[in-house]
Homo-oligomer: A and B are copies of this chain.
Amino acid sequence: MGKWQPYLEQKKDRHLDDLISFLRIPSISSLPDHETDVARAADWVAERLRTAGLEEVRIMPTNGHPVVYGQWLHSPGSPTVLIYGHFDVQPVDPVNLWTRPPFEPMVNQDRIYARGASDDKGNMLAPVLAIEALMRTNGRLPVNVKVFFEGQEEIGSPDLLEFISENRALLSCDMIFSADGSQWGEDQPAIVIGRRGLCALQIDVKGARGDLHSGTYGGAILNPIHALARLITTMHHPDGRVAVEGFYDDVRELAPEVKSYFAAVPYGADEVMAELDIREVFGEPGFTTCERLWARPTLELNGIWGGFQGEGTKTVIPSLAHAKISCRLVPDQDPEKVQNRVITHIQQHAPSGVSVTTRRSAGLADPVSAAVDHPGNLAAARVFEQLYKKKPYVVGMGGTIPVCGMFKKNLNADVINFSFGLKDENIHAPDEFFRISSFERAQKAWGLLLEALG
């Protein structure tokens, strides 16, 4: 056992204090009023990286919130790993549902409550502390390390594609480990072999020049809500398959071994029904729940609105009706191509009695994958087995971290999930928390991972 492990043990109270200081900064990236707080978080991170012993630490501007970079590159012949995480957080609304103010961290038994505790400040800080422990006890790291912490993950990393593309040399690496993501369970690890990508758009349907009285005009014109509902309905077959022409064209077949990995995970329809309090699952025929979630693309309506939403009755035919759509994508779908196909479908199915337009949403994200036998996943699996005393499951992740696709495209490096948040930790919701045991386990895990890679 490396001396760095007792070091982490000795310093655990100080490390928790570090996390508390970090969590006090309300670095909400989506709210312009908090721009300086995001900048303060970047300063805090940079200072913490210097203290940990990283070199060339710098706050690098983008067109939006900055990136914090640091490195330690004195292990010639060893691989170079880049560690990813983010120091921005989600908004806190509805703030009245929080038990305590979201930026006044509270420790209660094994939990630390605050916005960003799990997503992602606690997870992001862990590798920094592990690096410090290794540097203070060994004077060096077992591998070459670059750290890349961003401040715009919660708004879809709009400026990172350009940033990464302009800093390819600085960021070049053999593989990437993400401290953003989650872990399977408190007692059960998993390695992640893929994440879905994303594209999104908005449909706007316009009828008459203004809202109409449904008595005066009802029955003689096409109601934009009817038109929108019909248009939305054309996008799926009744059995759940997406009906947009060409939607599945580039979808990679599920390999038999992947099917068997997923089948071995004790998660499926029953667990989803229990979690969500629903009576049945629904999705693309011919696939299991895990396959639908981790290896099949989707087209989901995220919002719809038009006309009167208040109490009681208002007999209006609205002028406008809107819907928001996002697609989750899997290898080898291209987000822009799918977005185009959906737009083409909308144009082809738009009824002539109303005007239908589409707006592309920013934040296209490529689907990504990293095979079970990827050296990064192999190393992660060894660490997990050592820490949890269990073989990790092999899973996919239905969600999207846009920066993964950007790294892959520009650095040709895969992103390996190495994070310790759990799904009950209220991320993006009131009373977010992180387990202190997970925080400590994460620090140890990062130390073991860097050793394993060395």
Hey, which bits of chain A sit against chain B, CB under 8 A? 155-156, 196, 198, 200, 207-209, 212-223, 225-226, 228-230, 232-233, 236, 238, 240, 269, 272, 276-284, 289, 292-293, 296-298, 300-309, 312-318, 321-324, 326, 328, 351-354, 361-363, 397-400, 423, 428
Q: Write out the residue numbers on chain B whose beta carbons fall within 8 Å of the beta carbon of A208.
A: 276-278
A315 engages B216 (CB within 8 Å): no
B398 engages A313 (CB within 8 Å): no
B278 engages A200 (CB within 8 Å): no
Complex Cα distance, B328 from A230, in Å, reads: 21
Complex Cα distance, B352 from A281, in Å, reads: 10
Complex Cα distance, B236 from A177, in Å, reads: 53
Across the interface, name the chain B residue whose C-beta is closest to A289. B220
Choose among B221, B229, B428 the residue that contacts A276 (Cβ–Cβ < 8 A). Answer: B221
Complex Cα distance, B316 from A200, in Å, reads: 12
User: Assuming A219-B292, A293-B217, is B278 touching A313 (CB within 8 A)?
Assistant: no
Q: Write out the residue numbers on chain B whose beta carbons fall within 8 Å of the beta carbon of A213.
A: 398-399, 428
**Least Cβ distance of A125 to chain B in Å?**
24
Q: Write out the residue numbers on chain B whose beta carbons fall within 8 Å of the beta carbon of A214.
A: 298, 300, 302, 326, 328
Choose among B219, B240, B308 the residue that contacts A324 (Cβ–Cβ < 8 A). Answer: B308
* A/B interface sample: 17 pairs, CB < 8 A: A208-B278, A214-B328, A218-B300, A220-B272, A220-B281, A221-B276, A221-B281, A222-B280, A225-B302, A226-B301, A230-B238, A280-B353, A303-B306, A303-B307, A305-B305, A307-B324, A309-B322
**Least Cβ distance of A159 to chain B in Å?**
15
**Least Cβ distance of A291 to chain B in Å?**
9
B219 engages A296 (CB within 8 Å): yes
Q: Write out the residue numbers on chain B whose beta carbons fall within 8 Å of the beta carbon of A229.
A: 228-230, 232-233, 301, 304
Complex Cα distance, B59 from A80, in Å, reads: 87
**Least Cβ distance of A169 to chain B in Å?**
32
Complex Cα distance, B47 from A64, in Å, reads: 67
Q: Write out the residue numbers on chain B whose beta carbons fall within 8 Å of the beta carbon of A212.
A: 276
B328 engages A324 (CB within 8 Å): no
Complex Cα distance, B308 from A361, in Å, reads: 14
20 additional contacts (CB under 8 A) given A217-B272, A219-B297: A208-B276, A208-B277, A209-B276, A214-B326, A218-B398, A219-B283, A220-B282, A225-B232, A225-B301, A225-B323, A226-B232, A300-B317, A303-B307, A303-B308, A303-B309, A304-B321, A308-B324, A313-B324, A315-B326, A315-B400
Complex Cα distance, B284 from A232, in Å, reads: 22
**Least Cβ distance of A368 to chain B in Å?**
13
Q: Write out the residue numbers on chain B whose beta carbons fall within 8 Å of the beta carbon of A281.
A: 220-221, 353
Complex Cα distance, B208 from A218, in Å, reads: 34
**Least Cβ distance of A65 to chain B in Å?**
15
Q: Write out the residue numbers on chain B whose beta carbons fall within 8 Å of the beta carbon of A233.
A: 226, 229-230, 233
Pick the most buried of A196, A300, A322, A362: most chain B CB atoms within 10 A of its CB: A300
Q: Write out the residue numbers on chain B whose beta carbons fall within 8 Å of the beta carbon of A328.
A: 214-215, 218-219
**Least Cβ distance of A116 to chain B in Å?**
17
4 shortest interchain CB distances as A-B pairs: A215-B399, A303-B307, A208-B276, A303-B308
Complex Cα distance, B233 from A136, in Å, reads: 66
B220 engages A280 (CB within 8 Å): no
**Least Cβ distance of A267 to chain B in Å?**
11
A298 engages B218 (CB within 8 Å): yes
**Least Cβ distance of A182 to chain B in Å?**
9
User: Assuming A229-B229, A301-B307, is B313 touching A217 (CB within 8 A)?
Assistant: no
Complex Cα distance, B446 from A327, in Å, reads: 63
Pick the most buried of A278, A297, A328: most chain B CB atoms within 10 A of its CB: A278
Q: Write out the residue numbers on chain B whose beta carbons fall within 8 Å of the beta carbon of A300.
A: 214, 218-219, 223, 226, 315, 317
A398 engages B278 (CB within 8 Å): no
A313 engages B352 (CB within 8 Å): no
**Least Cβ distance of A397 to chain B in Å?**
7
**Least Cβ distance of A321 to chain B in Å?**
7
Across the interface, name the chain B residue whose C-beta is closest to A301. B225
B312 engages A361 (CB within 8 Å): yes
